[in-house]
Copies of this chain bind each other. A is one copy, B any other.
Amino acid sequence: MADKVTIATVAAHANVSRQTVSNVLNTPHLVREETRERVREAIAVLGYRANQAARLMRTGRSHLLAVRIEPTRDGINGSVLDRFLHGLTEAAAPAGYRILLYAAADDQAEIATYDDLLATYELDGFVLTSTHHGDVRTSWLAERGVPFVTFGRPWGRLGADARTEPAALSGAAGSHPWVDVDNAAGTAAATRHLLDAGHRRIGFIGWPEGSGVGDERRAGWAATAGADLPELARATVDGVAEGEAAAHDLLSISDPPTALVCASDSLAAGAYGVAPPGVAVTGFDDTAVARVLGLTSVAQPLAEAAARCVDLLAGVLDGGAAPHPVLLPPSLVIRQSA
């Protein structure tokens, strides 16, 4: 095991002061070309890498970003977080950041964790997922000036539509940097696909009102599907059994729908299981379950979303500029279910 190579080792090797080595790394233009090269060679030869702890003590920058890892609920949508985490990790590395994981049972526990992580590890920033109406986490972080990005737009007060709220979309005061996938566009694309296939009565199975994401997904369907909307929509908590029940219910009305747009692959899996042949079903998230069942599903560009989260956070941290929010388009993966 080679001895520890510090900035002093490099300085000695290159016959300069420690400070000059630091300058070569951080403000190279201040160092004469010839010296710079000599130092760089010493760095390469010795395999020197700056110690983050020492750097942190001076600069207050840990180059660490934290993200919460949630427990996999029914596991169907769990892989979404998994892919997002992988994208985050891959995008962070070239930008000079690492990803730290934390778990928290609820928002309050999560805030306590922020406090702890900031105090002990001086985290540079947070990536929040699963944002919701009246999220206390964002206000806590904002109040303290802690940099963060959310994957999921700020939902503000209950019932407000972000697309009609200039403040949220522009990232103006009171808001914060965010990256989101256009959920409404996703269900709209699925609905359009069904219309193109000749379906005229298209139902929707989603979640109870109040979850921003769920409301968006329903809105995309509603804006595209046509008339008679309320009677063609059912709301339920997420789950396969719940999807079965809702589909059963919807298909039992007079003049039933011939196609069902679902807010998740869990619901779609249930619906697809009870739907008679000819009734089309679409899901959301393009999970492994959708692939195996042959469910047409809306795919979120998770790697891209993660990369943009890192971009935004790095922008705040390095540039200081308030970055523009990012709204990414989903895509429809067509399989045999629709």
Contacts and interface: CB of A to CB of B under 8 A. Distances in A.
A293 interface: yes
Interface in A275-324: 287-289, 291-293
A27 interface: no
Contact of A72 (B1, B86, B100): B86
A219 interface: no
A223 interface: no
B72 A89 contact: no
Nearest to A286: B75
Contacts of A93: 102-103
A49 B122 CA distance: 11
B82 A81 contact: yes
B145 A1 contact: yes
Contacts of A227: none
Contacts of A117: 98
A247 to B, nearest CB: 14
Given A93-B103, A102-B93, A291-B75, A120 B86 contact: no
A139 interface: no
Given A74-B288, A83-B72, A98-B121, A144 B53 contact: no
A53 B124 CA distance: 13
Nearest to A91: B103
Given A47-B119, A98-B101, 11 more contacts: A1-B144, A1-B145, A5-B119, A53-B57, A69-B82, A75-B287, A79-B79, A82-B82, A98-B121, A99-B100, A240-B292
Kindly list the 7 A-B residue pairs having the minimum CB-CB distance in the complex, ordered from nearest: A75-B288, A49-B119, A99-B101, A76-B288, A82-B82, A53-B53, A53-B56
11 contacts: A53-B56, A53-B62, A64-B100, A70-B86, A79-B82, A82-B82, A88-B101, A89-B103, A93-B102, A98-B100, A289-B292
Interface of A: 1, 5, 47, 49-54, 56-57, 62, 64, 69-72, 74-76, 78-79, 81-83, 85-86, 88-90, 93, 98-103, 116-117, 119-122, 143-145, 240, 269, 287-289, 291-293
